[in-house]
Each structure stands twice: as C-alpha cells, then as structure tokens.
Amino acid sequence: MAASPSESLVELRHLTFGYGDRVILDDVSLVVPRGKVTALMGASGGGKTTILRLIGGQNRAQSGQTLFDGQDIGPMNQRDLYAARRRMGMLFQFGALFADLSVFENVAFPLREHTDLPEPLIRDIVLMKLNAVGLRGARDLMPSDLSGGMARRIALARAIALDPELVMYDEPFSGLDPISLGTAARLIRQLNDSMGLTSIFVSHELEQTFAIADHVIILANGKIATQGTPGQVRQSTDPLVYQYVNALPDGPVRFHYPGPSVADDFGVSAP
C-alpha cells in the first residue's frame, strides 16, 4: 500500500534500473518516511548509491517511478528537475569540495548559483551553516588545509546551505577516524531533527548507522532483503541479513570464490 504524501517524502514504486544487461534494481518499492533518518545498507554494488542518483535525477529508471513529494522525477524536463533539486542537498562521498575555493566560498557557492540574495545576507547564512557543523572559525581555510573529517563537515554545511527538505549522504562515514565518525553521525541526527529535514544516507558502518537511523533498508541481489527499525533489522531471520548485520565471513555471501574443489586442484583423492 502506498504511503500518503504526508507520510513519505520519497517513494520508489516497482522501480527497475540497470546498466546494459546488468540489472541493479529489480522491481524495487520502498518509502522514505518524511522527517526521519533512513539508512541504505547492503553489499557493495547492491544499488545504494544508484538509488540516490535516481532520486536526484542523474539516472532515469527503465520502469517504475521515483517520487519526490508526490512528483515523478523520471519524466521531468530540465526546468522541473532543477526546481526539485533545489529542494535537495547532497553530501558526496569524501566531500567533493571545490579545491580552488576557500571553505567560505564552497558553502556560499549554491547560494550564489541558485539565489539572488545580497552578499551581506549570504555571509550571514554561510557563517550560520558553518557554525552548525562547528567550523565557523575555519571559514578562510582551503580544502587542502582540512582533515578528512573537517572536509566532510564543510561539505555538509554546503549541502544544507539552501535549507533543503531532503539531504542525501553517500557513505558519509567512509575513511573517518572514530572521533570524526561519531561527530558526523551526531551531526546527521541533530541537523535532521533541528532543521526538520528528511535524511537518506548510504553506509556500511553498522554501529553508528543503527544508533542514528529511524529506518533501515538492506538491499541484496537487486531486491530489498529487509527493512524496518534497527531493532527489527537486527532480529531478521533472513540468512543474508543475519550474515550482514553480524559481519559473518561466510553465509549466503561465500568466503570462497566458486572454483574447483581442493581435491581437484591439489590432486588429492577423496576419502
């Protein structure tokens, strides 16, 4: 049953997408609850980042619908798609800051690109966003001066510069030390709640993900293996989900790549 517009901000309905003959998402339906933090998890290559790209309109589904606030992203023309994107913020993997722009100029960029606000107001907004991520004092630094965790927080300030309704994060915890990882996780949760956002993030980090997410979706083999609250996902009896959330080396995802038997390779006779 489809969720009402008041309950969901993003919805995929019977969506299929692939590259050539390789199907990535096969008849997938899911709902991203409005005002909540939703995590996309699963093995690498399972379609998590692809879902973010479908929501943002970089990719178009072969069949099915990608709904943002009740509107299908797929058939949108360029003007309507850009209007929808202005209601979204995106934190790319590793931040993707403009290397030749200062921290201040990076955060100011979307404001200058998409609004006609006067410079004094842009300055105030940029400093407010930097303050929200704890880095107002780093305004004059260049990206090369930043640690990985700081760069991710600056990218987050840029993602929320236009006060979006939806913020998407592509592996925001990747490559971070434990302190920076914990800071990034708390920021996602705090900004979601204080700004009234809806958040979707791709992650492989189980502990922090389950600590901040309201809703967890695990993808496998082009389908949704399970979804629900972190507690419900942990209690799943699906063998693949059980292997994933318990970080087991063997299960439906095998430790050994398929190949000849040990006996065949080493010329050992079977007992």
- Report if residue 81 sits inside a domain: yes
CA dihedral of residues 207, 244, 94, 76 (deg, nearest 10): -110
pLDDT reported for residue 222: 85
Model confidence over 32-49: pLDDT tens digits? 999 999 999 887 777 888
- What range defines the domain where residue 240 resides? 8-87+164-266
Return the CATH number at 261: 3.40.50.300
- Report if residue 180 sits inside a domain: yes
User: What's the pTM value of the predicted model, to 2 decimals?
Assistant: 0.82
- Report if residue 125 sits inside a domain: no
Q: Count structural domains, the chain.
A: 1
Is the CA virtual torsion 28, 33, 34, 35 positive or negative? negative
| 3-class DSSP assignment, residue 80 | helix
Model confidence over 101-117: pLDDT tens digits? 999 999 999 898 888 89
**Interatomic CA distance for residues 128 and 90, integer angstroms:** 18
pLDDT reported for residue 249: 73
pLDDT tier at 1, thresholds 50, 70, 90: very low
- Report if residue 124 sits inside a domain: no
Helices (H) and strands (E) in the chain, counts: 10, 10
Asked whether residue 271 carries a pLDDT value surpassing 60, the answer given is no
Asked whether residue 22 carries a pLDDT value surpassing 60, the answer given is yes
- Report if residue 158 sits inside a domain: no
Asked whether residue 30 carries a pLDDT value surpassing 50, the answer given is yes
List Cα–Cα distances, 206 to 33, 59, 85, 249, in angstroms: 20, 28, 29, 15
- Degrees, nearest 5: CA angle 233-10-89: 105
Task: Read off the DSSP letter of residue 94.
Answer: T
- Report if residue 2 sits inside a domain: no
Joined tokens for residue 224:
């949704």
- Report if residue 235 sits inside a domain: yes
Joined tokens for residue 234:
């942990």
User: Where do we find the tokens 């842009």?
Assistant: 122
**Interatomic CA distance for residues 113 and 72, integer angstroms:** 25
Model confidence over 189-227: pLDDT tens digits? 988 998 889 999 998 888 889 999 999 999 888 889 888
Q: Collect all residues with Cβ–Cβ distance below 8 Å to 258 and sequence separation of at least 6.
A: none
Asked whether residue 241 carries a pLDDT value surpassing 90, the answer given is no
